[in-house]
Chain A
Amino acid sequence: MPCRMPSNTLRTRLLGAAAGLAVAAAPIASSAGDLVEGSDWLKRWDGVKLTLSSHTGPTTDAVKAVSAKFAELTGAEVEVIDESWTDLLSKHLADAAAGGGTYDILTWPYIWTGHYVEGGLVEDLNGWFAMADLADPRFDMEDIPEAVLEVYGRYRGSASPNPDGLWSVPYKFDVYLAQYRTDLYEQAGIVDADGRAKPPETWAELLDNAKVLKEKFPDMQPVVFPLAVDDPMVATFLPMIAAYGGAIPIPWYDGNLYPEFQNGPGQEAIAILQELTEYMPADVLDMDYDRVNAHMAQGLAAYALNWNAYLPVLLDSGSSQIHESVAFDGTPGGPAGRFSGLGGWQMGVSSQSANKEAAFQLLEWIAGRERGVDLALAGGSVARFSVANDPKVVEAFPYYPLLMDVLKGYAARGMDRSWAELQRTIGVGLNKILLGEDAMEGLVNTARQTFDQAERAGYTPAKTAARP
């Protein structure tokens, strides 16, 4: 008896403790698996903290608002960190190298994709979207233009661990568009059969228009492009080289990173750009996207190119002198057709996240079809047909349908690991040609530099041909 009593007591105590633990754990277990009330896919993530890393700007502001709703519904804590975009890649890489797992969702411009995919920073989302218990059944991938998914989601380079992988979904949709002053065009007689302002369909037509506008309005800049060294220079040259026959979607080099921009299309494109710069501000080689937008908003130019993310400023009566007369169009074309340059950002689930399932659901929540309109109205730039056709969105941002339309032909910058270096080299090379260096010599010298840089980065341009 004396021996059995303690045994019973111990068993009873152990059972009691186990039952207590089970009761205590029940809310956690059920909260992680329970669906949010009224939802057939969104789960509760009580006690989970998610961190999304992005850059400063209106899209991230809109994402913050949408994420707050996710936090409210699921019980997760969501922190959206926004900071200067220029330092973001090195921060993401440094965090990954340190094994920090600081971020659950990463966002990046597609030109950095090589680092994220080759470096193993993000998950292949194909498997995640196949999980019935986590996937949003109304996410609607078909609502996203295929061109956008190709550029913002895939990485098909030879160094890709899975060329058919889906590494990310669109975060911020950026297309290079034209903006023009209908009042000036009409006064200059550049009109269609109905007497309405007629924007140029080709770069040559734009040059002709510039001549007419200069004569009619000598104090006005007929054209202004972002041509500051590096990113703006290359982004502006992208639809031009494509229009003159550059390879699509990436006209800069082939699959082995053998340079191609020094060939015929590049030569023709730089020739017409040289002519066009005569009708641009004297300091156009110092003009980035912000300055071009300010120039347009101040009513100092008749025609400009810029990313769609900058256009709301032009429509805002408080900040734009041309809000009533500005209209939008695709970038001009050339003998090979009309192509729009794609920019933009994407987001993926960090491979080091401790809460990948919750992170994936947050990603779906932000990029899903049902939040698209809210995101766009809050200032986000959304790549969805349903958003572009929504009456409320079109009323607020009349250029949205154009964003989908111009995707019929698109061109992109590079995505490999060495692109930042190559882009700098190409940007400097093109800038120098516009400053007076011989075009042919400048293009070939730049091609040689990029060939060497690609080789040093571990790619194999020599497989295509010898150094240019």
Chain B
Amino acid sequence: MVETSGLATGAGGASAWERIRRRPYPFLLVAPAFLVLFLLTIYPFAYMVWISLHKWPILPTLPRIFVGVDTYAYIFGDGEFWNSVGVTSLYMALSVGLQLALGLTLALLLDARHRAFGWFRLPFMIPVFVSPVVVGLIWKFMLGYDLGIVNHLLRSIGFEGVNWLGDQTNALLSLVLVDVWQWTPFTFLILHAGLMSLPREPHEAAVIDGATAIQTFRYVTFPLLAPIFTVALLFRVLDAFKLFDIVYVLTRGGPGSATNVLAYNIWRKGFFENLLGYAAALSVIMIAVATVLALALIRIMSRQTPA
């Protein structure tokens, strides 16, 4: 009775342990996967939650003090945390919004059956293959105020140079620009593949019914494409939410705290300032938010998928 307390009782009154004992094979088959999941995900996450409840210096020679939820209370009262949340949300909305809009526009404009599409598909995808750190470095040089090629081009056609990285608003927009440059091909590819897989009959019916191109897109194409669109949205939202490398290379969270996104803040707190408890608490919050976002998007996606 002691061993089985707390476990769900199955049909016919048999406890979970009893059922495992009677039919062990299904559980044995699942066990390796569960073990891997436990070792690589569940245990580290639980340990991170445990750390977040402490002041936790890396060195065991310094005291590790249990502070409960004190760190969480401090974080929620910290203006810099809310600034990070605001910056991350704004970045995510602008960046993902633009990527999907551009990716969808390009997908609609380009006809994959045309031979030319095959020629430029690979070059178009190059930004996706490049490491974000390299992308950051390339753009760091290109966006330089005095020596950057972007301002050089702007000046050569009569415009003023833009203070891309030294101004609070522009610095955030520069991050968006770089992310859009890198990841729009990805959204384009997914949405284009989605468009190519759509049945042609509904479109033909719409044309016969006299629908305009916009009406066809609004009432036929987009609803059919919606599940794939949501997949692209899910990928990009979660990726943008944990943006780190481009910020690390391009702005270091500055100027001021204009680009101090959550993931960069966690890295700084954990690995530069050695506030492991604080960084762990931030990570727990970030994982919780990411999970809610992912669940919401999956829910939307499941509603859109035909039964």
Contacts and interface: CB of A to CB of B under 8 A. Distances in A.
Interface in A85-119: 86-87, 89-90, 93-94, 96-97, 115, 118-119
A118 to B, nearest CB: 7
B74 A286 contact: no
A435 B167 CA distance: 8
14 contacts: A86-B272, A90-B274, A93-B58, A97-B58, A121-B59, A282-B145, A284-B166, A285-B167, A285-B256, A286-B254, A291-B144, A417-B57, A421-B275, A424-B273
Contacts of A4: none
Contact of A97 (B59, B144, B161): B59
Interface in A415-451: 417-418, 420-421, 424, 428, 431-432, 435, 449
Interface string B153-185: 000000001011111100100000000000000
Nearest to A429: B256
A89 B252 contact: no
B268 interface: yes
B257 A281 contact: no
A119 B257 contact: no
A355 to B, nearest CB: 21
B273 A420 contact: yes
B144 A428 contact: no
Contacts of B257: 229, 428, 431-432
Contact of A421 (B59, B171, B273): B273
Contact of A283 (B145, B268, B274): B145
B55 to A, nearest CB: 8
Interface stretch (A128-136, A187-195, A293-301): A293-301
**For the complex of A and B, 6 pairs with smallest distance between CB atoms:** A283-B166, A229-B254, A283-B145, A285-B255, A286-B165, A93-B58
A120 interface: yes
Contacts of A449: 80
A456 interface: yes
A97 B60 contact: yes
B62 to A, nearest CB: 6
Contacts of B168: 435
Interface string A281-322: 111111100010011001010000000000000000000000
Interface in B265-287: 268-275
Interface string B138-162: 0000001111000000000000010
A37 to B, nearest CB: 41
Given A119-B57, A120-B59, A428-B253, 16 more contacts: A89-B272, A90-B271, A93-B57, A93-B274, A97-B60, A119-B61, A229-B257, A230-B254, A281-B146, A283-B164, A285-B254, A424-B273, A428-B254, A431-B256, A435-B168, A435-B256
Interface of A: 86-87, 89-90, 93-94, 96-97, 115, 118-121, 228-230, 281-287, 291, 294-295, 298, 300, 417-418, 420-421, 424, 428, 431-432, 435, 449, 456, 458
A421 B279 CA distance: 12
B251 interface: yes
Interface in B56-79: 57-62, 74
A120 B58 contact: no
A286 B147 contact: no
Q: Interface of chain A, helix or strand or loop or mixed?
A: helix
B58 A282 contact: no
Contacts of A281: 145-146, 166
B254 A90 contact: no
Contacts of B146: 281, 283, 295, 300
A118 B273 contact: no
Contacts of B62: 118-119
Nearest to A301: B146
Given A97-B60, A120-B61, A456-B74, A229 B274 contact: no
Nearest to A121: B59
B221 to A, nearest CB: 43
A117 to B, nearest CB: 11
A229 B260 CA distance: 11
A295 B144 CA distance: 11
Nearest to B70: A456
A115 B168 CA distance: 33
Contact of B252 (A118, A121, A230): A230
Contacts of A458: 55
Contacts of A298: 147
Nearest to A285: B255
Contacts of A121: 59
A283 B165 contact: yes
Contacts of A291: 144
B44 to A, nearest CB: 15
B144 A283 contact: yes
B256 to A, nearest CB: 4
A179 B58 CA distance: 41
Contact of A286 (B55, B60, B171): B171
A282 B163 contact: yes
A424 B15 CA distance: 56
Nearest to B253: A229
Contacts of B254: 228-230, 285-286, 428, 431
Contacts of A300: 146
Nearest to A233: B254
B255 A286 contact: yes
Nearest to A436: B168
B255 A431 contact: yes
A118 B57 CA distance: 11
B255 A229 contact: yes
B266 to A, nearest CB: 13
B140 to A, nearest CB: 9
Nearest to A418: B273
B272 A420 contact: yes
Nearest to B254: A229
A449 B57 CA distance: 20
Contacts of B252: 228-230
Contacts of B270: 90
A281 B165 CA distance: 12
Interface in B227-274: 251-257, 260, 268-274
B58 A283 contact: no
A429 to B, nearest CB: 8
